[in-house]
Amino acid sequence: MSPPETDVPEDVPGWARDALRARPASCYADSDKVPIHYLAWNPDDRQKPGLVFVHGFRGHAHWWDHIAPLFTADYRVYALDLGGMGQSGWRKEYTPLLYARDIAAVVRHAGLKSAVLVGHSFGGSRVLRACTLIPELLRLAIIVDSPLRLGDEVNARSPGRRYGEKVYPSREAALQRFRLMPEQPALEWVRRHIAQTSIRRVDEGWAWCFDPALPPPEIEADGAALLAQVRVPLRMITGELSTVVTPARLERMIQLLRLLPTARPPVVIPGGHHHLMVDQPLALVAALRAILAEC
C-alpha cells in the first residue's frame, strides 16, 4: 500500500508544520504471519530509549504525525498500525490478544529494550494487554482516554453491522465523509490531516484504511483483572469533557489505580475531549512530557 497523499497548508501552526513535514521511515514487523506496519522517525538514534504510540479503533499511525516528532530529542519514536488498520495486513479474526501481539512484535522488531508505550482509546487497553506479554521490554505505559469495563458494566460492543465497505469515486468525496467517532470539537488542520491519511486508493476509487470486516471495538471483558496483571508502571491521561471516559467511569478507574503500587492518579486535561490529539494537541504533549520527565 502506498503512503497517503497529504499536504501541509499555511493555516497549520509553525510547530506542527515542522512536525508534519518530517518523513518517518515505513517498517514492517511480523505478528502471527501478518505484516504490521509502523513508522520510525529517528531509528538510528540507538542510544535513546524507545517511545511507541498506538492509535484507537479504525485509526492508524498517522494520527500521531503532529505529536510524535516533538519527542525525538529524547526518544527513538515510533507509531504503529494495529492489524487490520492503516497499512498493516488484515486477519481472519481480531482479538485483544492479537492486537497486543502486534504491539509486542513492533517493540521487538525495532530492537527496543526499555520502551514507553502510549495508547489512545481502544489502543490503550491493547497497550495494557501488551504490558502482560513483554514486561521485561517496557519501563512505562501511558493510556490516553481509554475505556475499561469495570465490575458490572455492560460491554457496549454492538453486533453485526460492517463499516468501511463503501468505495468513493474521488479523493474529495471520501474526505467529505470522514467523521470522528465520537464526534467532538477539533482543530481543522488536525482533522484534515487525519482524514487525508485515513483513505487509500483502490481500483474502483477511494476507500478507508481499515478492514471492513473489523468487529466492533471490544472492551476488555474485565478491566480490573487486566489492571491487576500489569506490573509495568502505569499513567493515565483523560479529557475533562470526554464522552468515553465519563466522570463516573473515571472515578471507578481512580479507585482501581489506587490499588496499584506503580500507578498514579490520572492527569485530566481541562476542556479536552476524547480525541485529545485533535482538539488539545499541545496540552497532550505537555502532559506526556511531564509524565516522561517524572518517570
- pLDDT tens sequence across 237-261: 999 999 999 999 999 889 888 888 8
Report residue 147's pLDDT band, with 50, 70 and 90 as the boundaries: confident
Sign of CA dihedral 228, 111, 291, 120: negative
Q: Which residues pair with 37 in a beta bridge?
A: 28
User: Three cell numbers at 251?
Assistant: 472515578
* pLDDT given for residue 260 in this prediction: 86
Does position 271 have pLDDT exceeding 60, yes or no? Answer: yes
| Pairing state between β 267-269 and 234-239 | parallel
| Pairing state between β 76-80 and 199-202 | unpaired
User: What average pLDDT does the segment 204-223 reach?
Assistant: 87
Does position 118 have pLDDT exceeding 90, yes or no? Answer: yes
Tell me the residue type at 292. L
* pLDDT given for residue 221 in this prediction: 65
Tell me the residue type at 36. I
Query: Cα(101)–Cα(75) distance, rounded to whole angstroms?
Result: 22
* pLDDT given for residue 151 in this prediction: 56
User: What average pLDDT does the segment 72-82 reach?
Assistant: 99
Does position 214 have pLDDT exceeding 80, yes or no? Answer: yes
User: Three cell numbers at 178?
Assistant: 470522514
Among 58-67, 120-129, 163-172, 202-211, the minimum mean pLDDT is found in 163-172
Query: Cα(53)–Cα(71) distance, rounded to whole angstroms?
Result: 11
Considering only residues 224 and 26, tell me which one the structure prediction assigns the higher pLDDT: 26
Query: Cα(149)–Cα(137) distance, rounded to whole angstroms?
Result: 26
Q: What's the CATH code, domain 24-150+219-294?
A: 3.40.50.1820
* pLDDT given for residue 217 in this prediction: 82
* pLDDT given for residue 148 in this prediction: 80
Does position 162 have pLDDT exceeding 80, yes or no? Answer: no
Q: What is the domain partition of the chain in residue ranges?
A: 24-150+219-294
Query: Cα(275)–Cα(122) distance, rounded to whole angstroms?
Result: 11
User: Apex CA 85: angle with CA 120 and CA 82, to 5°?
Assistant: 55
SS3 26: strand
